[in-house]
Structure formats: C-alpha cells, structure tokens
Amino acid sequence: MPDLRDLEIIIHSKVPLVVIETYEEPRALELIARAGIKQNMPVFIWSITEGMKRIDLEHVVAERLTNEPDATLAHIKATGRPGLYVLCDFHPFLQDNPKNVRLLKEIAMRYEQLQHTVILLSHALSIPPEIKRYCAQMELSLPSDEELLSMIRDEASLWSNRNAGQKVRTDNRTLEKLVANLRGMTHSDARRLARGAIIDDGAITASDLPDMNKAKFQLLDMGSVLSYEYDTADFAEVGGLLGLKRWLQQRRDVFHNPQPQLDLPKGILLLGVQGSGKSLAAKAVAGLWGVPLLRLDCAALYNKFIGESEKNLRDALKLADTLAPCVLWLDELEKGIATEDNDNGTSKRLLGTMLTWMAERNKPVFIVATSNDITRLPPELVRKGRLDEIFFVDLPQENVRRDIFAIHLRKRGLNPDMFDLDRLARACEGFSGAEIEQAVVAGLYRCAAEQTPLDAQHILQEIAATNPLAVVMAEKIAQLRAWAADRTVAAD
C-alpha cells in the first residue's frame, strides 16, 4: 500500500508532527494502526468526546482523564515511551490558543528525547506558524481505476445478493464512463456514489451519470464561486453558430478519447455583442459533448482578506480537475481576470494562478470563456496555446433570426408553422437573440391580458416598440465588430 509506505517513511524521517487532511477518518486510523504495529510502537487516539485510548490493541478503554486538549498534550509530553499519537479534529484547539500551540511545539522540539510522533487528523487544518516547520503534510491516495471498478463490482454483488441473485444491468461503455466520473473521489465517497447508481433499479445506465455528477459536485461544494449547471442546452436550441458547431464536432471524439498525436482541446473564448447567445453556446458545448458544466463566477472570486481570492480560484480549479472530464465556463471573464491597478495586485495574482493552471493541467477540462470586452483582458491569457480559438458571436443574420423565432415559439408550445417567420425575421434586423426572445415573451403577455391567441402581428408590434442594443449602443458595437473582423473567427 503506497499510503502505508509513505507514512512509514515520514516516521523513519523523525518528523515530530504529521498533518493529514481527509474526510476518511476510519481509513486513516486503520492506516496509522498498521504503521504502529509494523514499527512496534503503541498507537493512541484522542477525541474531545472519548479522550485518549489505544487503537492497536483490542478491548481498550478510554482514559477519561485526558479529555481536555491541554491535559492531553501535557500527558503526551510527560510520557517517556515512544508512540504514535493521533489527535482527531484538533483544529479548533489550535486557533487563538497559545498554550496548546506551545505544548505541541515543546513536544516537537523534544523529539530526540521523547520519540513521539503526533498526527493531526482532520478534514481541514490551518497550522500555526510557530509549529509549521516541524510538520510534514500527508495526503491519502485516491482510488485507482482498478480499485473503482472493483468497488462497483462489489456493490453490484451486494445488490444481487439482496435481490434474489438478479444481475446488475450495464454495458462496458457505460461502466467505463462511471469509472471516469468517479475519479478524484475518496474511497468511501466513490463507493457511496456507485451504490447510489445501482440501488434504485439494479442497472447502471447513461441516465445515472448526470445525477451522479450532481451528487459528486455537492460533496465537493464550492459555494457561490463555482456552480454546477444542471440544465445544459442542446445545440438544437441555439440558432446559427454553424462555424462553432462544426469546430466542436471535429474535436468531440478526441476530447473523450485522447490520441497520442493530437493535443487535448484546451478551450475557446466567445466574444460578442450582449445578448447574442454566448452563454447559451457555453451551455450547449457541455450538452453536445455530454459532460458536466461548471460555471465559475469570476466576480465572486474576490475576497476582502489578502490571499483568499487566489485560494478561491485555486480551489475552484482543483475541483474542476476533480470533476474532469467537464466544461469550465468562465462567465464574463473580464470581471475577474482583467488586470487592474487599484486592487492591490489581486487581479494580477489571480491571472498568475490561472495561467499556471492552464499551462500545467493534464485533465480533460475544456474552458469556455465569455467576454463582452476583450480589450480589458491581458494578451497572455487569450493567446494561442492558452486557448485554441477566439470566436466572435455577432448579431444574427436573417436566416438565423428565423430559426431563433422558431426555437422560442416551439419552446412555449406554439407551432412555428402558424407564424410568418420570414416577415418576423425581416422586421427585427439588428436584434440580438435575447431581444428576439423578449419580443415573443412580451407578445405572450399582451395576448394574456387581451385574452387572445398569439399571432405574428402581436410580435411585430413588440418589435416596433423595441429599440435594440444595436441602435442604443451603435458606436460601441461598430467598434467591437471592427476590432473582431481580422482578429477572430466568425462563430456563424
């Protein structure tokens, strides 16, 4: 076992304090007990509820006199026989508690005399600087593909035994996808998710994968910074963008099945007019490729405490790697990564973190970034190599406007064939996709108030009453189009 070997190396290295951050406490305790037996050292465990007791012997009784944290550390310090001491969930007793920090430091400094190894075991630990130099960090390994497959088969056997010997139904391709989607999970979490995929109907099918990915994301929750987009659009819901659709189709198989002679697709930047469908296109990429969509809210990265903004980004990117293969949607990128001079360097540090991850990542995480103002983005972020291509999403042409009308009418239970789509498409020249949708919505509201069925005339009245963005902000849109003409690839 590599984890056992790593722990033994740390013990032999005479490191006085070992930090293990994990949610798998039972697995970590079993590992530590095995290491103690192999090293012929007694192993003690402490918790605030049970005090201290040995875990490498059977029928042990907790020593209730050592319930209090400072008494426990004093007891370890006074004990002459070398041993392994595991302190479970000790992190609250290191915050703003100089006595406990000092006791730990004294135990560490007297390692040559005491030969004690203290293991701090918790889901998360912030080590005080006074003792950081005496610590070694250890992470429990995640299950390999072979171990994941073995877990799935174990859970399938258990289900079969409980259901009169029925076999769990699946196929090799779906099983491979399930293993891929379980990568990055701990042993216990992976087993629980595999059990959840089987238990309801005794089958592992493609329909189980989205629900499992949602559950996986919830276990690794990032709060408001990173969100799991449950509704990923089909490209049938996106009017136009034929060039982008063709580009994505060409790379779909390589993304799912990497080939030695081809690099994994890295990502794209969608630049365009507000309301032109960039966000819908980002969702459609995940829908087309059949992978989870994670949305990184760039504006939510910022935190008033120094270093927390960068940590938010690192945690979000680490989670994206864990959920790979996936699409990472960087919405309105300029709001979070644009380099500003009035934020004490935070945006520059965020940029550095992002560039490092983009250069070093080897997981299938495809970036779809959207931006309304590329001039605010640093050139090193959008150059070739960081992203594969920059697509410009312009206002839709007449044929695309016709398709957009049909999509939104059909979405609301109306038959597009009952409307003069050609006339509607001609009437809304200069409208974005969002403005076309709102013309349909406003027409429905008007008809609901008048208690009449919607027809083309109602929509034409709403079109006539609308000043599209192409008119309101004509100068800015013309400037954006001029910039994009020779620098980007047309999405349509």
Note whether 266 and 387 are within 8 A (CB).
yes
What is the signed CA dihedral for 310, 316, 317, 320, rounded to 10 degrees?
180
| Of 4-8, 157-161, 236-240, 453-457, minimum mean pLDDT range | 236-240
pLDDT greater than 70 at residue 410: yes
- Residue 354 burial by CB count (10 A; 0-12/13-18/19+): exposed, middle or buried? buried
**SS3 of residue 20 by DSSP:** strand
Contact 105, 134 (CB under 8 A): yes
Angle formed at CA 336 by CA 474 and CA 310, multiple of 5 degrees: 175
Asked if 120 contacts 15 with a C-beta cutoff of 8 angstroms, the reply is no
What number of CA atoms fall less than 13 Å from residue 349's CA on the CB side? 16
pLDDT at 222: 53
Give the global pTM: 0.69
The fold for domain 2-138 equals Rossmann fold (3.40.50)
Structure tokens at 400: 């695309």
Q: Which residue has the higher pLDDT, 6 or 302?
A: 6
Number of helices (H), then strands (E), belonging to the chain: the values are 22, 13
The candidate with the shortest Cα–Cα distance to 458, out of 471, 469, 449, is 449
- CA 114/CA 7 separation, integer angstroms: 19
Q: Is domain 229-393 given the CATH code 3.40.50.300 in the classification? A: yes
DSSP track, 140-174: PPPPPHHHHHHHHHHHHHHHHHHTTTPPPB--HHH
- pLDDT (tens digit per residue) in 293-334: 888 877 777 664 455 778 778 888 888 887 788 899 988 887
Closest CA to 242 of 391, 344, 94: 391
pLDDT at residue 64 greater than cutoff 70:
no
| Percentage of the chain exceeding pLDDT 90 | 34
Which of 207 and 157 is assigned the larger pLDDT? Answer: 157
Characterize 371-404 residue by residue with b for buried, 16 or more Cβ atoms within 10 angstroms of its Cβ, and e for exposed: bbebeebeeebbeeebbbbbbbbbbbeeebbbbb
Q: What is the mean pLDDT of residues 40-57?
A: 88
Contacts with 336 (C-beta within 8 Å, 6 or more apart), sequence order: 297, 298, 299, 301, 302, 330, 347, 350
CA distance 184 to 319: 9
Q: For a pLDDT cut of 70, what percent of the chain falls above it?
A: 93
Query: What's the rounded Cα separation, in Å, for the pair 327 and 310?
Result: 21
Whether residue 233 has pLDDT greater than 70: no
Closest CA to 329 of 277, 365, 368: 368
pLDDT computed for residue 96 by the predictor: 86
Domain 2-138 matches domain 229-393 at the CATH topology level: yes
Strand partners, 228: 294
Instruction: Decide if 339 contacts 348 (C-beta within 8 A).
Output: yes
Which architecture characterizes domain 398-472 according to CATH? Orthogonal Bundle (1.10)
Q: Where are the domains of the chain?
A: 2-138, 145-219, 229-393, 398-472
One-letter amino acid at 478 equals A
356 vs 319: which has the higher pLDDT: 356
Model pLDDT, residue 444? 93
Q: What is the SS3 assignment for 437?
A: helix
pLDDT, tens digit (0-9, with 9 covering 90-100), for 379-394: 888 787 788 999 988 8
Q: Which residues of 257-288 are buried (b: 16+ CB within 10 A; e: fewer)?
A: eeeeeeebbbbbbbbbbebbbbbbbbbbbbbb
CB atoms within 10 A of CB 27: 15
More confident residue, 211 or 73: 73
